[in-house]
Amino acid sequence: SDFFKAHRHMHMGEKPFKCSECKKCFSAVSILKKHLRSHQPKMSRRAKKMKKKSKQNVPDFLADPDYEKKHTCTVCQKTFSKSYNLKVHERIHTGEKPYKCPKCDKCFSQNARLRVHRTTHAEWAHEAMWVRKRKPSIPTEKLHKCNVCEKSFSKSYSLKVHLRTHTGEKPYTCDECHKSFSKNNLLTVHKRIHSGERPYQCNDCLKSFSVISHLRVHKRTHTGERPY
């Protein structure tokens, strides 16, 4: 039988089945067939989806893994399937940030990032749950690497803040109690202890909070949500 022949080839060290592409030899036809797949071009996700739907052969040009990525960055040669994604990516190199927060004038390279940022202000705190559920897909490039723990970041400022976890630096100090913090937003939240400010208000019972995360937890008492 074929099984016995293949078994005998294994013991004898015989490899009578040769690959026509690379001339590599194998002891069984089944192993040769499996090997031949390595010479076939990888099918793109789009091609696989089409093949699954139609259950027919997909045109050769769709089987090309680079077919969908025809927009190339002239700086780092990274490719994208859509011209818009390339446009967004290029802002990493140019530093362009066309989306500005109307509250604090902070700028962002993508509108989705601006939406997430806006929820840190009391006026748009109600959007926080919507932004979290929507989970927009934001392509990022992490070009800035920490030389201590190898963690990477998309912005040089984020790396600068991260490095404080290694150095212990806390450049932001409270004028009232002289407590120091590594981030400015942590100092802002801390100052509310002294001022009594509670900018985040519940729309249902009008209870106020100094931190937006406390408001989110509180809202579950009205919705009955139990995420954990």
- C-alpha closest to that of 19 among 27, 11, 9: 27
- Judge residue 201's burial from the number of C-beta atoms within 10 Å of its C-beta, 0-12 exposed, 13-18 middle, 19 or more buried: middle
Question: pLDDT class for 61, splitting at 50, 70, 90?
Answer: very low
- C-alpha closest to that of 30 among 49, 3, 48: 3
93-103: per-residue pLDDT in tens?
Answer: 788 888 888 88
Delimiting residues of CATH 3.30.160.60 domain(s) in the chain: 71-134, 170-228
Is 0.85 surpassed by the pTM of this model? no
CATH 3.30.160.60 fits 71-134, yes or no: yes
170-191: per-residue pLDDT in tens?
Answer: 999 999 999 999 888 889 889 9
Q: Which superfamily is assigned to 170-228 in CATH?
A: Classic Zinc Finger (3.30.160.60)
Mean model confidence pLDDT for the chain: 75
Residue 33, pLDDT > 50, answer yes
CATH 3.40.50 fits 140-169, yes or no: no
Q: What is the pLDDT of residue 66?
A: 47
In total, the chain counts a number of residues equal to: 228
